[in-house]
Chains A and B, each alone.
Chain A
């Protein structure tokens, strides 16, 4: 398999559930990203990892917890979410973290919080 893959593609969860989103990149990249995409809004950067170290954390609520066990895998752990967290969560990767590098996106996980 090539590119950036995400599982699950769809997730429905209650506000008290705990779930995790998984992202895997098969491109040999060193940087990985989580974005939130809500209707009619620009993509919102949530977290960035470079060489498995978190390099950006953009005031994201603590109910979202990222994990990067190696340069190919990225997780987003979810707990006690709110209905307004319903969105498409996109993972991306790039060769390195730095100016001018192009990001490649996965297909996303469509999350619905009831």
Chain B
């Protein structure tokens, strides 16, 4: 089946720094979603992207649907301690019907 390669696996940054993470695949995707999961909770949707080249912001978060439709990135600007958590990308492959494929997550730690 389709695989999503999410990188980096973990990041340790100082408060105030900007963060960038991405997901790539060898397959074409129709939809990209970015979720954040905090300890003991389920993933919470941050941003949804439905069109190649689409760039969407949600506060300090910005995500883009890659023009090749095989990748997406998420940027967090001016990080704060509450940004800590695991960030997951998820995509709907062109050939998979309705099944989302998930990345393995990026663990973000923000030091005050």
Contact = CB atoms under 8 A, between A and B. Distances in A.
Interface in B85-100: 88, 90, 92, 97-100
A107 B92 contact: no
Contacts of A106: 42
B99 A90 contact: no
Given A45-B99, A90-B42, A106-B42, A100 B31 contact: yes
In this complex, the member of B4, B42, B43 whose beta carbon has the largest number of chain A beta carbons within 10 angstroms is B42
Contacts of A100: 30-31, 50, 92
Given A42-B103, A110-B40, A99 B45 contact: no
Nearest to A6: B42
B42 A40 contact: no
A72 B40 CA distance: 23
Given A102-B33, A105-B44, A40 B98 contact: no
B87 to A, nearest CB: 13
A22 B50 CA distance: 31
B104 interface: yes
Contacts of B105: 42
B55 to A, nearest CB: 18
Nearest to B41: A107
Nearest to B94: A99
Interface in B41-65: 41-45, 48, 50
Given A100-B50, A108-B42, A110-B40, A41 B92 contact: no
A99 B91 CA distance: 11
A53 interface: no
A104 interface: yes
Contacts of B90: 43, 103
A91 B100 CA distance: 14
A101 interface: yes
A97 B99 CA distance: 9
Interface of B: 4, 30-31, 33, 35, 40-45, 48, 50, 88, 90, 92, 97-105
Interface of A: 4, 6, 9, 40-43, 45, 48, 56, 90-92, 97-108, 110
